[in-house]
Amino acid sequence: MYKIRKTWVNCGMMKFFSEHPASVGETYFEHLLCATGFSIRMIIGGIACFIHALLPFLFVKTASKYITELHEQMVRKRSKLPTQTNTIARKFEA
């Protein structure tokens, strides 16, 4: 007889990698790409904001432009989700 070894896949660990992405309508890899894109844009916006703090005449609207674009992208994506998830998302917009 073969004994099935417990691995992270068959002992329930897989849900940690798929539960949140599924709640926003994505697979793990779709979420990875989307979150990575968001993080890169947030880093760029943060650097622009830091430079603006030192030199106020530079990047006057850059950080707020990045924040607005990221927020709009998130809201657009949430509007395509099923009603239950969408209702939860609306609580954060208020």
Paired tokens of 73: 């992208």
Q: Look at the block and give the residue holding tokens 């073969």.
A: 2
pLDDT of residue 2: 53
Phi-psi region of 59 (alpha: psi -120 to 50; beta: other; left: phi over 0): left
What's the Cα-to-Cα distance from 89 to each of 13, 19, 55, 56, 82, rounded to whole Å?
A: 26, 16, 36, 35, 11
Proportion of the chain above pLDDT 90, given as a percent: 44
The lowest-confidence range among 16-20, 21-25, 49-53, 80-84 is: 80-84
pLDDT, position 54: 97
pTM (two decimals): 0.65
pLDDT band at 13 (very low <50, low <70, confident <90, very high): confident
Q: Say what the pLDDT of residue 77 is.
A: 78
pLDDT band at 9 (very low <50, low <70, confident <90, very high): low
Q: Which of 47, 44, 15, 21 is nearest to 34 (CA)?
A: 21
